[in-house]
Amino acid sequence: MNAQSKIDMIKALRLTREGRLVEAMAVLRGARAGAASFDANSEPKQGSAGAGAHAPDRLVDGSLPRITEALKGVLGRMGQLRPAGLFGGSGVARARPTIPPGARFEERGYANEAGSRAYKLYVPSGYDGQALPLVVMLHGCTQSPDDFAAGTRMNDLAEERTFLAAYPAQARSANVSKCWNWFSTGDQQRDRGEPSLIAGITRQIMRDFSVDSGRIFIAGLSAGGAVAAIMGSTYPDLYAGIGVHSGLACGAARDMASAVAAMRDGGPTPAGKSPRNGGSEGAVPTIVFHGDRDTIVNPVNGDQVIAQSKAAGQFRVSVDHGEAQGGIRYTRTVQADESGRSMLEHWVVHGGGHAWFGGNAAGSYTEPRGPDASREMMRFFLDQPAKAATFRTL
């Protein structure tokens, strides 16, 4: 397994904030041999990488200053560790969603050569064997399927509008903060790593339930939002639309240093060109929510998600402004095709931070006063015409 996938980012960020940069570097490197010779929970030992000729700027081919300066920059923006950061947070699951009579919220599992993941599936009471849309929901760091379902209230919408909702769970063995490893190149490719597991979960549900194969969608928060963008880029034949809440574009990072830089300043993906097959495919229907006061993930990343999803498409642009019932204002930019169908929506929530807008306060990392991101995402998804089923089976 990729050594970086087991990094404890909470510890790395804490050590950096305390000025213990050599120890933070050891955590970032997964305490691999040669990175440093000390216990990451203690002060540097005499004669170790913390002193003398083995100064920090000599470690790992000079990469330490670059990574630690990036970490310090992010911490400076954050002020303190905040909830739902892509590299961890302090939240805990506080609620379990309620299940109405006749509905089910089942725990299931999937495994392939890349590993295994548990997931939960909400089956609404209105399901009677008919083909239903499916939305796959990817939680943020430290969250769980139960917590994410409660916070987003997506199960309530699934009951109301009769669709299936799946919640893959990141394993702590894959990332100690339960973050999806969006920044690892091995987890950004079709039929490899975590994308293969998430696609496998999607296909397993298609085999076990009646699913409308042209109306499968994927959405996520923070690290989960970044992976939703990856899934839209690597499996455009499987997913008919993506929702990215406070996340980043596919390919925004390739390692830890570039991940921190992308969170701080945005990623390198050029506007108007998607990584999907060299950018040769058309636009992927995409809806983005991002707070303009997000100190964890720079809001410019939302612009980059839209630019990547747009590819070479040409659309009519309209902008409207509004205020949610909770009093938070927003700007919505819609890019529509010739028929007037919304292909890209970008919601910028003014004064909003790094949390799911319009969510339930019983779940973690939510901002109940904002526009209802879950309802707007499902409105956007279900307004899309059914996608031709061209996906490849495993």
Please indicate, yes or no, if residue 387 is contained in any of the structural domains.
Answer: no
DSSP 312-350: T---EEEEEEEE-TTS-EEEEEEEE-TT--EEEEEEEET
Verify that 332 and 192 share a domain, yes or no: yes
pLDDT score for 23 = 65
68, 59 contact by CB (below 8 A) = no
- In sequence order, what are the beta bridge partners of 136? 166, 218
**Kindly report the CA angle at 22 between 86 and 13, in degrees rounded to 5?**
20
In the chain, the number of structural domains is: 2
Verify that 232 and 283 share a domain, yes or no: yes
pLDDT score for 45 = 31
Verify that 110 and 47 share a domain, yes or no: no
Please indicate, yes or no, if residue 211 is contained in any of the structural domains.
Answer: yes
Please indicate, yes or no, if residue 393 is contained in any of the structural domains.
Answer: no
pLDDT score for 283 = 85
Please indicate, yes or no, if residue 234 is contained in any of the structural domains.
Answer: yes
pLDDT score for 85 = 42
| Local structure of 214: helix, strand or coil | strand
Verify that 73 and 112 share a domain, yes or no: no
DSSP 342-381: EEEEEEEETT--SSEET--TTSSSEETTS--HHHHHHHHH
Helix (H) or strand (E) holding 220: strand 211-221
Please indicate, yes or no, if residue 391 is contained in any of the structural domains.
Answer: no
Verify that 207 and 170 share a domain, yes or no: yes
Q: pLDDT tens across 160-207, in order? A: 999 999 999 999 999 999 999 999 999 999 999 999 999 999 999 999
Verify that 342 and 207 share a domain, yes or no: yes
The tens place of each residue's pLDDT in the chain, 394 residues long, gives 444 444 565 566 656 545 555 566 566 555 433 333 323 233 323 232 333 332 333 333 344 555 545 554 444 443 333 344 443 333 444 567 789 999 999 999 999 999 999 999 999 999 999 999 999 999 999 999 999 999 999 999 999 999 999 999 999 999 999 999 999 999 999 999 999 999 999 999 999 999 999 999 999 999 999 999 999 999 999 999 999 999 999 999 999 889 999 999 999 854 444 444 333 357 899 999 999 999 999 999 999 999 999 987 889 999 999 999 999 999 999 999 999 999 999 999 999 999 999 999 989 999 999 999 999 999 999 999 887 754 444 3
Please indicate, yes or no, if residue 352 is contained in any of the structural domains.
Answer: yes
Closest to 195 in 3D by CA, of 232, 144, 166, 167: 232
How many H helices and E strands in the chain? 10, 12
Verify that 170 and 280 share a domain, yes or no: yes
- In sequence order, what are the beta bridge partners of 218? 136, 242
pLDDT score for 269 = 59
Verify that 206 and 152 share a domain, yes or no: yes
Please indicate, yes or no, if residue 122 is contained in any of the structural domains.
Answer: yes
Verify that 113 and 230 share a domain, yes or no: yes
CA distance 389 to 394: 15
Exposure b/e, 199-211, CB count within 10 A at least 16 = b: bbbbbbbbeebeb
pLDDT score for 80 = 32
CATH number reported for the structural domain that contains residue 303 in this entry: 3.40.50.1820
Closest to 92 in 3D by CA, of 368, 362, 369: 362
pLDDT score for 276 = 47
Verify that 156 and 33 share a domain, yes or no: no
Kindly tell me the burial class for residue 77, based on how many C-beta atoms sit within 10 Å of its own C-beta (0-12, 13-18, 19 or more).
Answer: middle
Contacts of residue 60, Cβ cutoff 8 Å, sequence gap at least 6: 25, 29, 35
Verify that 158 and 295 share a domain, yes or no: yes
Which structural domain, as residue segments, surrounds residue 34? 3-78
Q: pLDDT tens across 344-360, in order? A: 999 999 999 999 999 99
Verify that 63 and 113 share a domain, yes or no: no
Please indicate, yes or no, if residue 336 is contained in any of the structural domains.
Answer: yes
Kindly tell me the burial class for residue 88, based on how many C-beta atoms sit within 10 Å of its own C-beta (0-12, 13-18, 19 or more).
Answer: buried
